[in-house]
Chain A
């Protein structure tokens, strides 16, 4: 007992191993909390706007609670070691998103617009579909490494999904951006949201195989590792694809999302800063180049540089100008630090797309800076848990896939929030979970499902050591 005989020289500590806790009960508690917050938001909107507790409160609370409960039970059964935060955070964002979509349904101004419809019931249905897809992912995707087999199939799927809006008759041009397809009887779908997941699978599978060539075969020049010309192939192809999206679908957000996701995954796979420099230069060159001749992109850039001028022009009735950017900025401004309170703002002045692309402006006005910061932190926590999952994952494919998915999620939040707040030109994408939009909610629930599957694999305790056949005693067979 050396620790007892010379106690002054060494500190002594005892290490007892504790099994990795599954933390499902923490998740359940947080889920209950999340549903309660969402119901609170719903009641608050009703009390503020109609002076009464909304009649649908019970069914709304039960509906959201049921979705959360189903999600939780499936995670408990099929992914018992998964991260305890992803599901509650997604549920809370979805829940308060629903409450605010309902709040905008109650707005007198929006109800007078010709293409008004009750969005909240549809959004609840979309959330149910999203949770259903989440459940399907968890039940049928037993191991995320299975996705690795479909590397090139998912590339083809992603390219098809991205090109679908360009097919005549199928794609529809909504306010200048061609990122929707119309399926008769089903409504419109934004295939780009699903392409995001397929592309992450492809990039992860591709980079896992090629990363050594991309990382090691390079020359050093001015502190940067310059890759060989032939290794530049893939990044140039993806760049060309994203530029094509920008030209033909005139949507900066989708284009930025895919190229950004590729650059993030390339950087994580190769640990070479030069890729980021190249990526930034290429995307800047591409965006500036396209903006110089594409009128729709030019409009967006104009509205970003001088929203007040756009507003005046649109008030004067000049076609092709929008007052939305300025209205969104005013909404943020009048919200101040603590906001006007749910249901008491005037963010419905934004008009069209107030409950989808511009939903963050409503949060900015009614919950103020404090509320928007809390919501951005929740997005940040989802991304953090995704990256944490990537760190804990033991296989390179899982690592890259988790980084890609959470990177895409982060970029989407940045592109939308930045657009609404006037940091970058506005694009036609939706805030994940918060905004009204079927494809977005469904695809993001699937994304959370895949992240939960990877984190379950990553956090599962290692199996007991296999019995060593050599260690067994030799058996003597006696006659």
Chain B
């Protein structure tokens, strides 16, 4: 074997070895799943408030690739999104598409609460069979409050009623 070939193989092997390590680290990086957050420029919103108001579905939903699953049989007046109105995450919205929304400090929650008063799996919000949205406290330490009342059982959420978890307040909106 010529010296050159062996040198190329030697360096090539080291390169491949390191490439594997780097790919593995990339896999770890992309492995941090949980929630996908799309930042929307507020300028674009400001330009077309009327447009947005006229739309049957809010822009947040139009952005989603898939149409809402239960859209066809959704009742009139049913909430279409969940809005965080107080706390660090103020302004965050989640489109309600029939999926269960989990709240808590756990990294795989739909809304990850960075709040000293929140438990890791604090509460969840899910639709029952009729499409009515229910909030349920998952045995949290400091409790989940709907208006002023601490939740003890899964409770239907009225439109616009504040759900308070620690310093975070969320509500359902049309």
The answer to whether B100 and A14 touch across the interface, beta carbons within 8 angstroms, is no
CB-defined contacts of A21 to chain B, threshold 8 Å:
33
CB distance from A308 to the nearest CB of B (A): 30
Contact B39 A11 (CB under 8 A): yes
Query: For chains A and B in complex, what number of residue pairs have CB atoms within 8 angstroms?
Result: 170
Decide yes or no whether B64 CB sits under 8 A from chain A. yes
Query: When A18-B33, A84-B31 are in contact, do A2 and B83 touch as well, CB less than 8 Å?
Result: yes
In the bound complex, what is the Cα–Cα distance between A471 and B154 (angstroms)? 8
A113 neighbours in B (Cβ, 8 Å)? none
The answer to whether A3 touches B93, judged by C-beta atoms less than 8 angstroms apart, is yes
CA distance A121 to B85 in the complex (A): 66
Number of A interface residues in the complex (CB < 8 A): 59
- The answer to whether B141 has its CB under 8 Å from any CB of chain A is no
Contact A12 B7 (CB under 8 A): no
Flag if B33 contacts A41 (CB, 8 Å).
Answer: no
Using a CB-CB cutoff of 8 Å, which residues 1-42 of chain A contact chain B? 1-5, 7-8, 10-18, 20-21, 23, 26, 30, 33-34, 37, 40-41
Q: How far is the CA of A339 from the CA of B143 in the complex (A)?
A: 61
Contact A30 B24 (CB under 8 A): yes
Q: Which residues, 128 to 169 on B, are CB-close (under 8 Å) to A?
A: 128, 134, 136, 153-154
Complex CA–CA separation, A131 to B45 (angstroms):
56
Take A4-B52, A84-B27 as given contacts and tell me if A371 and B46 are in contact as well, using a CB distance cutoff of 8 Å: no
A423 adjacent to chain B (CB < 8 Å): no
Residues on A with beta carbons closer than 8 Å to the beta carbon of B35: 15-18
In the complex, B172 has a CB within 8 A of chain A: no
Q: Does B78 contact A (CB under 8 A)?
A: no
From known contacts A12-B93, A84-B31, A470-B153, infer whether A47 and B13 are also in contact, taking CB-CB under 8 Å. Answer: no
One digit per residue, 1 when the CB lies within 8 angstroms of any chain B CB and 0 when it does not, for chain A 148-183 equals 000000000000000000000000000000000000
B48 → chain A closest CB, angstroms: 8
Nearest-Cβ distance from residue A395 to partner chain B, whole angstroms: 13
Alpha-carbon distance between A34 and B19 when the two chains are bound, in angstroms: 11
A381 CA to B21 CA, complexed, in Å: 9
Stretch at the interface among A85-93, A278-286, A313-321: A85-93
B62-95: contact bitstring with A at CB < 8 Å (1 yes, 0 no)? 0110000000000000000001010000111111
Q: Is B1 an interface residue (CB 8 A)?
A: yes
- Do A4 and B23 form a contact, CB below 8 Å, given A338-B14, A374-B14? no
In the bound assembly, the distance between CA atoms of A374 and B11 in angstroms comes to 13
CB pair A338 B23 closer than 8 Å: no
- Cβ–Cβ < 8 Å partners of A341 in chain B: 6-7, 9-10
**Contact A14 B91, beta carbon cutoff 8 Å:** no
In the bound complex, residues from chain A placing their C-beta under 8 Å from that of B11 are 338
Q: Which A residue's beta carbon lies closest to that of B43?
A: A7
User: Could you give, for residues 100-119 of chain B, a 1 whenever the CB lies within 8 Å of some chain A CB and a 0 otherwise?
Assistant: 11100000101100000000
The reply to whether A85 and B24 contact each other, CB–CB distance below 8 Å, is yes
- Known A-B contacts A465-B126, A465-B136; A37 and B17 likewise in contact (beta carbons under 8 Å): yes
Is A216 in the interface zone, CB < 8 Å from B?
Answer: no
Q: A16-B36, A44-B13 are in contact. Are A33 and B7 (CB under 8 A)?
A: no
Task: Give the CA-CA distance A470 to B13 in the complex, in Å.
Answer: 64
B20 CB contacts on chain A under 8 angstroms: 30, 33-34, 37, 92, 374, 378
Instruction: Note all chain B residues with C-beta closer than 8 A to A381.
Output: 21, 24-25, 28
Q: Which residue of A lies closest to B30 (CB)?
A: A26
Q: Decide if A342 is an interface residue (CB 8 Å cutoff).
A: yes
For A46, give the chain B residue with the smallest CB separation. B1
Contacts of A462 in B (CB 8 A): 102
Interface membership of A367, Cβ < 8 A: yes
Q: Which residues of A contact B39 (CB under 8 A)?
A: 11, 13
Cβ–Cβ contact A15 & B36, under 8 A: yes
Interface centre among B37, B42, B46, B154 (most CB of A within 10 A): B42
Contact of A48 among B6, B14, B46, B108 (CB under 8 A): B6
A474 at the interface (CB under 8 A from B): no
With CB as the reference atom, state the residue of chain A lying closest to B82. Answer: A15
Determine if B23 and A30 form an interchain contact, defined as CB atoms under 8 angstroms apart.
Answer: yes
Contact of B9 among A44, A88, A385 (CB under 8 A): A44
Q: Which residue of the partner chain B has the closest CB to A468?
A: B154
A326-339 interface mask toward B, CB cutoff 8 Å, 1 = contact, 0 = none?
A: 00000000000011
Report yes or no: B101 in contact with A17, Cβ–Cβ below 8 A: yes
A40 touches B13 (CB 8 A): yes
| Chain A, residue nearest B89 (CB) | A13
Listed in ascending order, the chain B residues whose CB lies under 8 Å from chain A are: 1, 5-7, 9-14, 16-18, 20-21, 23-25, 27-28, 31, 33, 35-40, 42-43, 45-46, 49, 52-53, 58, 60, 63-64, 83, 85, 90-95, 99-102, 108, 110-111, 124, 126, 128, 134, 136, 153-154, 173
Give 8 closest A-B pairs by Cβ, nearest first: A10-B91, A341-B10, A7-B42, A374-B17, A7-B46, A7-B45, A14-B60, A15-B94
> A residues within 8 Å of B by Cβ?
1-5, 7-8, 10-18, 20-21, 23, 26, 30, 33-34, 37, 40-41, 44, 47-48, 51, 84-85, 88-89, 92, 338-342, 344, 367-368, 370-371, 374-375, 377-378, 381, 384-385, 461-462, 464-465, 468, 470-471
Sample (15) of A-B pairs whose CB atoms are under 8 Å apart: A2-B85, A7-B45, A12-B92, A14-B94, A16-B95, A18-B36, A26-B27, A40-B12, A341-B7, A341-B10, A370-B18, A374-B20, A385-B28, A470-B154, A471-B128
